[in-house]
Every structure is written in structure tokens, then in C-alpha cells.
A and B are shown apart, each in its own frame.
Chain A
Amino acid sequence: MSSKVMKLDEAVRNNVKPGDLLFIGGAIHASPSAAVAEIVRQRINHLTVVAILANTSPLVGEGLVDKVLTAYSMTDEKRSFPLQRARNKFNVKVEFKEYSHFDIALALQAGYMGVPFMPTRSHLGSDMMKYNEDIQSIDCPFTGGQIGIVRAVVPDVGIIHVQRCDAEGNAQKWGTLGIDFEGINASKRVIITTEKIVSSDVIQRDPNRTIIPGFRVNAVVEQPFGAYPSHLAGCYDEGLAMIGGMQDEARWEKYINSLVYNVKDWNEYLENLKQASSPDFLNKLRIKNPLFSDPVITGI
């Protein structure tokens, strides 16, 4: 067995360090929820998080995040209990650096490309530039007019959840990709959580689907339902998400304890979900009518 295949706790312990700039993949679809819960469990703090539409609340509310690079977050503590909690209970300020969604994608694209910035027509003339020095407008050297630029973001560590990956870390993902490709390829260290570890042969018969090659990957974790409660294309539908409902300390503690502290790992959390509702709770989320594509033909 490859040394890259490991349990989630080990993958996180080895690769996520206090103070890291952390990329969290998934955007509504396919969030690496299990990995986020494990970071909370290990209480790895002073993180800077870059993500779009991923659930970063457990990290923020537990006081582990110093800074968020975001396009869409409630930055007002009056309306965000996790933020209130970070500030009051943990004395963590939590700074926000605001972009547009495409700006975030381009910051990671620049990181993935190994260049200091990317040009764009996003954010031009917007007041967002006044509060974020990493999005600017410059004279275009070629056309004469103004062109926006976004400074590269190079995460210390990135995490995505995928449908399948081999033991070497060749990871394949389908469905909507959000900013997963740019984010994970920009990241210096890479954790892949996967529904299933498959043989390399499966990967090699459809290599265009590989989102990041094995040599770039540090850890591979097999974690069924690792994206719950988000949906995962070809695997399962969304579960009941925690929308609101944790706007006070008592409810927050109930939530975070059930998600993290009262369980030893994600599998126990999933078991508890089943016990709380029904044994086939997770199976009911699985897709009912799988559709198969025509095979992608390779060969010589």
C-alpha cells in the first residue's frame, strides 16, 4: 500500500499546520466536510481560509480562523453567530478580504500557473478595490485602457473531496468543479478525500478526468460520504444542511459536539446520523437511477 493512503486524522495532522493558508474545495457541490470537521477536532488554529460557497462556519465558530479570503460571507457579527463566537469566546478578530467569485478563481489560477497575478475585467470600478489591496486596476501595457489584476494566492495546503482516486493520489472528479481545479493545483500540499480508492487501471482508462496527478498529492483518504451534507455527482444527493439554527451558544454546542467533539471520526458521526433517523438514512441519499456514459475509448 502506498504511504499516501492514510486515515483522515493522520492526513490532517501531517499536512495542516497552525497559521496555514488553507484552500477548501467544493462550492455547494462536493464540499470536503469530513476534512473540515477533522481540522476542528485537531484544533489547528490561526488559519487563513480561501474558499467559495464552502461551509467554513465550524472553523470560524471554533475560533480557528484569523482571516477569510472570500466573495460571499456574512462579515457582520450581528448576523453571524460563528463570527460573534470567534471574537467573544476565542478573542480572534477574523479579518475578511473581499473579492468577487471570479477574482478568487483567478487568484488561485495565478497560484496554479506560478505567476504573480492574473488580469481580468472583473472588479473594475468597484469599491471592493478600496478595501482589498490584492485586487487592483492598472494601465494595460498592450491596449492602453485600464485592466484589473488579482494577486496570486498560493495555499499552503488544499483539500478537495472527489469520487475516485488511486493509491498514488491520481484524483478524478466530475460534476461541477467550482474552483477545485485551480485551488487544488495552486496548493503546495494536497489532501484528497475520496468516496472510493480505486485501482490505477480505472484512472488510466479515463485519464482526462484526473484533476490533479499523483505526484502533486500528499495524502489520500478514503472517506465515504465525505462531502455530506452536500451532494456529490454520481454518488448522493444533499442531506439536510444546517441552515441557521445555530444562532446561540446552546445550539452551537449541540451542533459542533455532534459533528466533531462527541465522535472520534466522521464514520461515527455518520453512524449517529443513522441512529438518529433511520438505518437507511444515508442509502436513501444515494442516486436511484445511475446513468452511464458511453465508454471513453483509449487503446492502441
Chain B
Amino acid sequence: MPKDYTEFDQMIISASRLVKDTDVIYTGVGFPIEAAILAKNLHAPNCTIVLENGIVRASMFRLPWTTDTMESQLLAEQLTSLTYVNCLAQAGYITLGFMGGGQVDRYGNVNDHVVGDYYKPVHRWFGSGGANDLMSFCRRTVIILEQSKRRFPEKVDFNTCPGFFDGRPNRRKEVGLPPDNGPVAVITNLATFTFENSEMTLKTVHMSCGITPEKVKAELGWDIKVAEDLSDTLPPTEEELQVYREKIVAARRFERRGRGASMR
């Protein structure tokens, strides 16, 4: 039987598997919130989802089109401020951060500012928003984004959200960041990566989507470290696909043009 899911569906489902039932998740809009809500509908019904504008929810809610909507506010356990939710995170009470990013480099540093010179950029994104706060504070951070060589340079031109800097030990502690925090995984439409000794490491390849390790390597800006136990990404289970379609795909308000996540 031909597979009936895309590599982007695999990406969101793989990311959702990283949520534990006990997690408190600070999530950004787009793929991250889709993965968080999917997890809550599957294996992590008791997780709490925290949205930047001041929404703290343990109760279920439908996928909103952006973080703050009438529905994402409705019947939340707590509506508060951006300051409050970031204080929760800064004080160590948020266990998991889910975010996107403009670029990610070899040591998990994220660039949401510029390619090239800051004042004369070749490319420009919107800036940190809450991303720097999220990655600085959350106990574990997962970065979810579409993979291309352009998005994965060996070293970012601008470090918006520090991961492990140049990979030397203790760099986070030296600058004052909570030393045990930082990125733990990068999930793309091609593969999943973890961090071994602060370095991004290829862990699984979305083989069931027709992705090969060569394809993954071709869309990275450096010679990636490969895990000894490199394996195929576990394909979506029937249950995962069914819930994904009911709770995520059906609730999407805008089609992602050219991105290939399935719409039905």
C-alpha cells in the first residue's frame, strides 16, 4: 500500500513524540503548536501548554490559527501576561520548549535575525520574538523546521538564541545561562537530530518517506556527525495518523502553500 502521509506529517508526528505526559510546554506558533496539541491528543493528555501572551492551559483546546485567539483563551486554567509565563520559564518551571527558527547551526544556535551583515543583510527575519526567552529558559528545547542547506549553515551569522555556542564545554554556564538547559533535538521534514557533546547528531532518517541519509546530508551545511545507532524514523502509527488528521489537519485554517503537509 502506498504511504499516505508526507515528510511534513512525519516531522510533526515525530516532534509530538518528544512530549511527556508530565511536561509543561512553552510553544510557538506553526509546526510547534501543532506538534504540542497532537501530543496532548495522543500520549500526553496531562501536559500543560503555555502560550506566550499569557495562556496557561491544562485542558484540551482546538488547534488555533495563531497563539492567541478567542478559542485558545476560552476556558483556560489561567490567563495572565507575557511577563508571568516567562517568569515561570525563567524560574525553571517549564520543562519543554517547542520552537521554529530561521537557521540552526552545528551547535544548535538559532538565527532569527540576519544572514550577512546586521546593517546590510542578505536576508532578514523578524527577530527573536519570544524565541530567545524560550531557548534560554526551558529545560529542554526542541527546534522544528523545514530542512534545507540554507537553513542549516555550519555557523549562524547571528546568534539569536544560543544553543551550545562553539561546542566547547560549559559555554552556556559561562555566559550565565542555566547550564543544564538548551536544545535537545532538531526535527525536520527529512530527519531527527539529537545533541551529543553539544553537537547536532543525525539520529533517524525519514526513510518511509523516501528520504535517504545522502539527501539529509545534502541539505546540511557541514559534515554532520552521525549517531552510532542511526536508524529509520519510526513511521506514523495508524492511531497517530488518525488523530493527526482529525485534530491537526482538519483544524488548520490556512493551507501551507508549497510545504506539503497534507490537507484533507
Hey, which bits of chain A sit against chain B, CB under 8 A? 27-29, 52-53, 70-76, 78-79, 98-103, 105-106, 109, 120-128, 130-131, 137, 140, 145-148, 174-182, 231, 233, 237-238, 287, 291
Q: In the complex, are the beta carbons of B176 and A101 less than 8 A apart?
A: no
Judging by beta carbons under 8 Å apart, are B73 and A29 in contact? yes
Q: What distance in Å separates the Cβ of B120 from its nearest Cβ neighbour in chain A?
A: 10
Q: How far is the CA of A175 from the CA of B174 in the complex (A)?
A: 39
Instruction: Name the A residues within 8 Å of B126 (CB-CB).
Output: 72-74
Q: Which of A72, A75, A101, A175 has the most CB of B within 10 A?
A: A101
Given A131-B118, A177-B79, A231-B69, A124-B136 contact (CB < 8 Å):
yes
- Residues on the B chain within 8 Å of A146, using CB: 174-176
Q: Known: A98-B113, A126-B160, A145-B176. Is A27-B82 also a contact (CB below 8 A)? A: yes
Known contacts A123-B136, A125-B159, A175-B79; is-contact A102 B176 (Cβ 8 Å) = no
Which residue in chain A gives the minimum CB-CB distance to B175?
A125
Chain A facing B: main interface SS: loop
Residues of the A chain whose Cβ atoms lie less than 8 Å from the Cβ of B74: 291
Q: List 6 A-B contacts (CB under 8 A).
A: A71-B128, A102-B86, A122-B90, A125-B175, A128-B160, A291-B75
> Inside 8 A of A76's CB, which chain B residues have their CB?
121, 124
Q: Which residue of chain A has the shortest Cβ distance to B90 in the bound complex?
A: A121
Residues of A contacting B121 in the complex (Cβ-Cβ under 8 angstroms)? 76
Out of B54, B69, B161, B174, which one reaches A126, CB within 8 Å?
Answer: B161
B177 contacts which chain A residues (CB < 8 A)?
Answer: 121, 124-125
Partner of B80, one of A75, A125, A140, A176: A176
Given A109-B83, A176-B81, A178-B81, A127-B158 contact (CB < 8 Å): yes
CB distance from B108 to the nearest CB of A (A): 12
Q: Which of A28, A100, A137, A180 contacts B175 (CB 8 A)?
A: A137
Beyond A53-B53, A145-B176, A147-B176, 18 additional contacts (C-beta under 8 Å) are A27-B82, A28-B66, A29-B73, A71-B127, A71-B130, A72-B127, A75-B124, A76-B124, A98-B127, A99-B128, A101-B133, A121-B177, A122-B90, A125-B159, A127-B160, A178-B82, A181-B83, A291-B74
Q: B55: CB under 8 A from chain A?
A: yes
Asked whether B8 is an interface residue with its Cβ less than 8 Å from the other chain, the reply is: no
Contact B129 A127 (CB under 8 A): no
Number of interface residues of B (CB under 8 A): 47
**Given that A131-B118, A148-B176 are known contacts, is A287 also in contact with B70, CB under 8 Å in the complex?**
yes
Residues of B within 8 A of A (CB): 52-55, 66-70, 73-75, 79-83, 86, 90, 113, 118, 121, 124, 126-133, 136-137, 158-162, 165, 171-178
A299 to chain B, nearest CB (A): 26
Q: Which residues of A contact B124 (CB under 8 A)?
A: 74-76, 78-79
B3 to chain A, nearest CB (A): 34
State whether A233 and B132 are in contact (beta carbons under 8 Å apart), knowing that A98-B127, A182-B83 are contacts in the complex: no
Residues of B within 8 A of A126 (CB): 128, 132, 159-162
- Decide if B82 touches A101 in the complex (CB within 8 Å): yes
Interchain CA distance A93-B99 in the complex, whole Å:
32
B121 to chain A: closest residue by CB: A76
Contact B54 A177 (CB under 8 A): yes
B68→A28 contact, CB < 8 A? yes
| Complex-state Cα separation, A169 to B176, whole angstroms | 42
Q: Are B68 and A27 in contact (CB under 8 A)?
A: yes
- The answer to whether A174 and B79 have CB atoms under 8 Å apart is yes
Q: Which residues of A contact B131 (CB under 8 A)?
A: 100
